C-alpha cells in the first residue's frame, strides 16, 4: 500500500473522511500525539486499526468526539465526570465512564468492557475530521505496536508507512505526551494514566495511579471456554472459524480481520445463549490471529 502524506487542508480532510467512511484507518494529529483514527461504530474499521498497528493483543481504545454533548450520547457522566469535562474539554483529558447500551460503539473498541474512554480533542485537524465524518473516531497513538508515540507526521510514516493509506501532516504536536486518563465509574475519580493535565489535586482522596493495561480488567465470559475445538459437545455453544461452521462463525471464509471485528460480539452472544459452556474453533496464529488468540487464552484462563 502507498502511504500518502498530505498537509492539513480542507481537501486533505475530505480525502481522509472518505477513507474513514470506507473503513480505512488514517493518521491525524491531536494536541497530544498523532492518532490512527477509524470509525468507532464500524467493527471492521476498528479491526483494521489493530491490523495496521500489528498489535498482538486487544486494548480498549480511546474514542474521540467533537463535544460533551456527543460524549453524553455514548457514555454516562456523573457529577465528578461532568466537572472535569467542563473544565478541561476540549483538551488532553480522557474520561473513562460507563458505556451506554445504545451507544452504537462497536464492542471491539472497548475490548468488550462495560466502560469507555472518551476525549474531546482541541486540535483543529482532528476536530475537522470529526465534523467531516460525523462519526465518533477510535484512535490509539499512530505507531506500530511496541514503538513510541509519534509527535510528527514523519514519525508516523516511519512506523506505519506502507500500512495505512493517508497521513495528514500538521507538523509537531503541541503536547507530545498522551492524554491524562481519569476513570469516573462509580462515584469517585481515579487517575489511570498521568498526562499533560494535572488532575491529582482534583481527585477524590486515595486516587492512586494504576497502569491502564492492568486496570482494564478485560471482558471474560461467565462460562467455561474451551479453545481449539473442531466439534462441540451438546451443552457447548460453538463459535466457528473457517471450515468449522459452529453455531455462529467469526469468519466463514477464514478472514482474520473479519474474525477480530466479530470476536467480542460473538463472545457476548455465546455468553447469552442457553448452553452452559462455550467452545471455540482453532484460529491460526498469524497476523490478527495472534491478538485474537491472546484475548481468547486470557478469557479461557479466567472463565
Ligand atoms: O493522547 C491520547 O490519548 C492519544 C491520542 C491519539 O488521543 N491516544 C492514546 O491511545 O494514547 P492509546 O490507545 O495509545 O492509549 C489508550 C489507553 C490504553 O492504555 C487503554 O488501556 C486506556 O487508554 N483505556 C481506554 N479505554 C479504557 C477503559 N474503558 N478502561 C480503562 N482504560 C482504558
Ligand atoms: Mg499508545
Residue 99 is classified by DSSP as B
pLDDT, tens digit, for every residue of 59-70? 899 999 999 999
Burial class for 260, CB neighbours closer than 10 Å (0-12, 13-18, 19+): buried
Q: Once rounded to an integer, what is the mean pLDDT over residues 113-117?
A: 95
19 vs 219: CA distance, rounded Å: 30
- Cα(150) to ligand 2 centroid in Å equals 9
How confident is the model at residue 175, as a pLDDT?
A: 85
- Cα(1) to ligand 2 centroid in Å equals 23
- Cα(236) to ligand 1 centroid in Å equals 35
Q: What is the DSSP track for 253-293?
A: T--HHHHHHHHHHHHHHHHHSSSSEEEE----SSTHHHHHH
205 vs 57: CA distance, rounded Å: 33
Verify whether ligand 1 is closer than 6 Å to residue 112 (CB atom): no
Q: Which residues of 192-208 are buried (b: 16+ CB within 10 A; e: fewer)?
A: bbebbbebeebbeeebe
Burial class for 99, CB neighbours closer than 10 Å (0-12, 13-18, 19+): buried
pLDDT, tens digit, for every residue of 79-88? 999 999 999 9
Tell me the percentage of the chain whose pLDDT exceeds 70.
Answer: 92
155 vs 174: CA distance, rounded Å: 15
CB atoms within 10 A of CB 297: 12
User: Cell 481527585, residue?
Assistant: 203
Residues with CB under 5 A from ligand 2 (ion): 141
Q: How confident is the model at residue 220 (pLDDT cuts 50, 70, 90)?
A: low
How confident is the model at residue 215, as a pLDDT?
A: 33
* Mean per-residue pLDDT over the chain, rounded: 90
Q: How confident is the model at residue 199 (pLDDT cuts 50, 70, 90)?
A: confident
Q: Which is more confident, 243 or 292?
A: 243
Hey, what's the cell of 89?
474539554
pLDDT, tens digit, for every residue of 246-283? 999 999 999 999 998 888 889 878 988 999 999 999 99
Q: How confident is the model at residue 176 (pLDDT cuts 50, 70, 90)?
A: confident
Sheet order of strands, 190-193 included: 4-7, 166-169, 26-29, 34-39, 137-138, 62-64, 115-119, 93-98, 180-183, 190-193
User: Which of 107, 212, 215, 264 maximizes ligand 1 atoms within 8 Å of its Cβ, making it the mutation to test the pocket?
Assistant: 212
How confident is the model at residue 45, as a pLDDT?
A: 98
- Cα(117) to ligand 1 centroid in Å equals 7
Question: Residue 214 pLDDT more than 50?
Answer: no
- DSSP 3-state helix, strand, coil percentages of the chain (rounded to 5)? 35, 20, 45
Question: Looking at 22-36, 87-101, 140-154, 226-240, which range is the least confident one?
Answer: 140-154
Burial class for 22, CB neighbours closer than 10 Å (0-12, 13-18, 19+): exposed
Contacts of 216 (CB under 8 A, 6+ apart): 59, 60, 111, 113
Q: Once rounded to an integer, what is the mean pLDDT over residues 294-302?
A: 79
How confident is the model at residue 213, as a pLDDT?
A: 41
pLDDT, tens digit, for every residue of 223-246? 899 999 999 999 999 999 999 999
300 vs 141: CA distance, rounded Å: 29
Q: Once rounded to an integer, what is the mean pLDDT over residues 23-27?
A: 98
Q: Which is more confident, 163 or 303?
A: 163
Which residues share a beta bridge with 225? Answer: 278
How confident is the model at residue 303, as a pLDDT?
A: 56
Query: Are the C-beta atoms of residues 280 and 296 closer than 8 Å to each other?
Result: yes
Q: What is the pTM of this model?
A: 0.86
Looking at ligand 1, which atom is closest to the CA of residue 99? 29
Q: Once rounded to an integer, what is the mean pLDDT over residues 30-56?
A: 95
Burial class for 109, CB neighbours closer than 10 Å (0-12, 13-18, 19+): buried
Amino acid at each position: 500500500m502507498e502511504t500518502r502524506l498530505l498537509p492539513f487542508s480542507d481537501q486533505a480532510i475530505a480525502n481522509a473522511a472518505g477513507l474513514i467512511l470506507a473503513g480505512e484507518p488514517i493518521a491525524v494529529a491531536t494536541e497530544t500525539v498523532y492518532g490512527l483514527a477509524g470509525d468507532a461504530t464500524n467493527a471492521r474499521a476498528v479491526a483494521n486499526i489493530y491490523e495496521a498497528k500489528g498489535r498482538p493483543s486487544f486494548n480498549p481504545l480511546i474514542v474521540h468526539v467533537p463535544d460533551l454533548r456527543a460524549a453524553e450520547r455514548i457514555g454516562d457522566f456523573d457529577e465528578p465526570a461532568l466537572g472535569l469535562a467542563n473544565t478541561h474539554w476540549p483538551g488532553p483529558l480522557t474520561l473513562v465512564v460507563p458505556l451506554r447500551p445504545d451507544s452504537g460503539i462497536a464492542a471491539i473498541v472497548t475490548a468488550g468492557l462495560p466502560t469507555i474512554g472518551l476525549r474531546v480533542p482541541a486540535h483543529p485537524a482532528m476536530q475537522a475530521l470529526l465534523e467531516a465524518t460525523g462519526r465518533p473516531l477510535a484512535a490509539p497513538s499512530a505507531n506500530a505496536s511496541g514503538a513510541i508515540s509519534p509527535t510528527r507526521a514523519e514519525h508516523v510514516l516511519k512506523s506505519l508507512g506502507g500500512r495505512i493509506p493517508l497521513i495528514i501532516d500538521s507538523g509537531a504536536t503541541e503536547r507530545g505526551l498522551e492524554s491524562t486518563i481519569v476513570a469516573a465509574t462509580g462515584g469517585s475519580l481515579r487517575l489511570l494514566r498521568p498526562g499533560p493535565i494535572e488532575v491529582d489535586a482534583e481527585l477524590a482522596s486515595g486516587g492512586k495511579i494504576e497502569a491502564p493495561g492492568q486496570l482494564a480488567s478485560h471482558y471474560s465470559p461467565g462460562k467455561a471456554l474451551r479453545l481449539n475445538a473442531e466439534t462441540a459437545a451438546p451443552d457447548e455453544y460453538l463459535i466457528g472459524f473457517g471450515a468449522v461452521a459452529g453455531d455462529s462463525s467469526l469468519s466463514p471464509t477464514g478472514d482474520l480481520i473479519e474474525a477480530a471485528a466479530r470476536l467480542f460480539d460473538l463472545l457476548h452472544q455465546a455468553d447469552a445463549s442457553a448452553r452452559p459452556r462455550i467452545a471455540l474453533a482453532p484460529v491460526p496464529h498469524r497476523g490478527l490471529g495472534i491478538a485474537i488468540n491472546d484475548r481468547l487464552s486470557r478469557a479461557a484462563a479466567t472463565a
